[in-house]
Amino acid sequence: MNPLPSAERIPYILTHCRTIAVVGLSPKPHRASFEVARYMQAMGYRIIPVNPNASEVLGEKAYATLAEAAQHEKIDLVNCFRNSEDIPPIVDDAMAIGARAVWMQLDVTHPAATARAEAAGLLVVQDRCIKIDHRVLLSSGLLQAPAPSA
């Protein structure tokens, strides 16, 4: 079970999970995954692309699998741009690599995988856009904007 009430879960994740593996991150700028990841990167998050068909996205090396990415990077949050039926093995990998949270984008849900992840202590968000939630919390003052680059 998630240790945080749902109202606190999203601000907690966005404050404490600074390295995000984006499973299904497309290198195509017109795709939602690219736009969302680019926004999060601009907000100071480290983006780790997971896409077996890309070598690099947003200036970051892309990995074929989450497990491969975790061999090179410490991943806090797994952001899923995949169909709902693809979620169970992603959640299994997120648990195996020691991620703190799993975020399923709009229209992506999987109650059984969510229950497994929560039972293992991961924070889970389903059917929400991380970019939208970040913008709302930023504009409400519940999140801090990144410091300007020198």
State both tokens at 3: 């240790």
Alpha carbon dihedral 11, 48, 107, 3, in 10-degree steps, equals: -40
Query: Which pLDDT belongs to residue 145?
Result: 72
> Is pLDDT of 5 > 70?
no
104-128 pLDDT per residue, tens: 999 999 999 999 999 999 999 999 9
Q: What separation, in Å, do the N-terminal and C-terminal C-alpha atoms of the chain show? A: 42
pLDDT digits (tens, 9 = 90+) for 121-147: 999 999 999 999 999 999 988 887 776
More confident position, 113 or 149 = 113
Specify the pLDDT at position 27. Answer: 97
Q: Inform me whether the pLDDT recorded for 81 exceeds 50.
A: yes
Q: How many residues does the chain have?
A: 150
Q: Which domains, from first to last, does the chain contain? A: 6-139 (3.40.50.720)
List C-alpha distances in Å: 113 to 85, 90, 104, 116, 123. 10, 9, 11, 5, 12
Q: How confident is the model at residue 50 (pLDDT cuts 50, 70, 90)?
A: very high
pLDDT at 2 over 80: no
Q: Does residue 66 carry a pLDDT above 50?
A: yes
| pLDDT at residue 1, rounded to an integer | 46
pLDDT the model gives residue 141: 86
98 Cβ contact partners less than 8 Å away, ≥ 6 residues apart: 70, 75
Q: What is the pTM of this model?
A: 0.93
